A and B are shown apart, each in its own frame.
Chain A
Amino acid sequence: MNMLGMGIVFASGRGIDSLDRALHEGWQAPAEVEIKGRKSFAYKVDQQAISDRTLLKNMRRADKLSKMAVVAASEALAGGMVNISPSPHPSPTGGEGAKIGVIVATALGAHVTTFDFLDDILEYGDAGVSPTTFSNSVHNAAASYISSALGIEGPTLTVTQFFFAFHSALQLAQVWLNEGRCDYVLAGTVEQYGDVLAYVHDTKLVPAHDGRIKPFNLKPAFQVPGEGSVFFLLGNNPGNAFCEVQSVSVNDQADNLPPADLNIIDADGLLEDESIYKECLSPDVPAAAYSPLFGSMMSGSAFNCAAGALMLKNQKSYANPVTDNPYGFNIVNDTAPCSIELIRCVRYNCFHERAEIYLRGKQIGEGR
């Protein structure tokens, strides 16, 4: 299946141009936050980035998680230039519409709103809880808002699976497309930063006291929590695709694939010891990790995939934003035009299971 459209909202802004700019500019300091009187850092999405009155006109009650998801999904859909059908709303471009499914992958979902809901119960009793807070805390809320805001009437699902939620979403999208259940699938991820998450990061993991995630440091693995959303419009037709998702595997080697031209590792400090990533790095294949641009998120694979897709589309390698490299890995140090055909995105979970996404460039691949 192909990545036909892409939308993103993250700490450095909204849209593919913001992603491209962030990849060019390299590491930027995260926002300073205070956790129980201590200074810490987080990559937070500015409210301005999700203030879209036209798109969100019927979403005043939505929480930040849902708004981020809708904004990213909307841009992915617009980028793919696909007509929506069946829909009570007229298609903006006319013509036959397409069946579209929505899959939201998230590790923690609406945890901020859920904790608000629980706080309300404790403070006011169960009769004094806001119905809006309750409805936003429901697991499928973000996916429902996407369907509603974009006029999509296809299947809608939320996948929660800590580190591999995005991988599962891609696998399911492939099934829906192959079955013909959908012509296209909007699959993506969304995570939100909040006080409870900040506390967990600060007390259970190793905070990066200088604000820098150092993906190649491995141990200790420093983290800075992040938030944001990235969505991809996926379809089996080639279109003007960013790239092809050639293979997605979880705890299983991808079959018969040549060595990648680039390894993107999802190391971001969420494992206490990330030495396991040594197993997937090779001196012959350059490696990159872009978590220092987005923050540490259990579904950060989607953000690294977005960077990979842009690399393949633009045929350009982007320098690692943080280049601390105590083990002397072969890492990408420069941003420069290059010929890349195959990118492997690798994530390990805390049980050292490995998930891989292979992205293949369309322009090069089609010529072969």
Chain B
Amino acid sequence: MQSNEAQDLAQIKKTLKELLVSDLSLEDIKPEEIRDDEVLFGEGLGLDSLDAVEIVVILQRKFGLEVKDLENRKDVFYSIDSLAKYIYENRKKNS
């Protein structure tokens, strides 16, 4: 079971990184160059508030997850790690 969870999380992180680079039109960075624990907003990857809304759209379109109350869910958007965890847990809940 642990192994499946690790595999699923790894796959989600890989997909997330690819989606961030393509859908947010990130330049000068490849998906594999984004660290799992890298801060996404501000000093880290340098994303901004419009990117946050784009990520909400990505979660909805690609993972079938709706994020409401964006302002109070900053913890989810902290890093690839936190986003992947949120996706994994909520997909499991929904399935």
Q: Which A residues contact B (CB, under 8 angstroms)?
A: 53, 60-61, 124, 127-132
In the complex with contacts A53-B27, A60-B25, A60-B26, A131-B53 CB distance below 8 A: yes
Interface of B is mostly: helix
Closest 7 A/B residue pairs (Cβ): A60-B25, A131-B53, A128-B60, A60-B27, A130-B57, A128-B61, A124-B61
Q: Are A131 and B60 in contact (CB under 8 A)?
A: no
Which one, A53, A61, A127, A132, contacts B60 given CB within 8 A? A127
Q: Which B residues contact A (CB, under 8 angstroms)?
A: 23-28, 50, 53-54, 57, 60-61
Chain A, residue nearest B53 (CB): A131
In the complex with contacts A124-B60, A124-B61, A127-B60, A132-B54 CB distance below 8 A: yes
In the complex with contacts A61-B50, A124-B60, A124-B61, A130-B27 CB distance below 8 A: no
Contacts of B53 in A (CB 8 A): 131
Contacts of B28 in A (CB 8 A): 53
Q: Are B25 and A61 in contact (CB under 8 A)?
A: yes
State A53–B25 Cα separation when bound (angstroms): 13
- Beyond contacts A128-B57, A131-B54: 16 other A-B pairs, Cβ-Cβ < 8 A, are A53-B27, A53-B28, A60-B24, A60-B27, A61-B25, A61-B50, A127-B60, A128-B60, A129-B57, A130-B23, A130-B54, A130-B57, A131-B50, A131-B53, A132-B25, A132-B50
Which of B23, B57, B60: most chain A Cβ within 10 A? B57
Of the A-B pairs whose beta carbons lie under 8 Å apart in the complex, a sample of 19, sorted by A's number, is A60-B24, A60-B25, A60-B27, A61-B24, A61-B25, A61-B50, A124-B61, A127-B60, A128-B57, A128-B60, A128-B61, A129-B57, A130-B54, A130-B57, A131-B50, A131-B54, A132-B25, A132-B50, A132-B54
State A127–B27 Cα separation when bound (angstroms): 27
Which of A53, A127, A129, A132: most chain B Cβ within 10 A? A132
Chain B, residue nearest A51 (CB): B27
Chain A, residue nearest B28 (CB): A53
State A137–B30 Cα separation when bound (angstroms): 27
State A61–B47 Cα separation when bound (angstroms): 12
Contacts of A130 in B (CB 8 A): 23, 54, 57
Give, as a whole number of angstroms, the nearest-CB distance from A315 to chain B.
42
Give, as a whole number of angstroms, the nearest-CB distance from B49 to chain A.
10
State A61–B24 Cα separation when bound (angstroms): 7
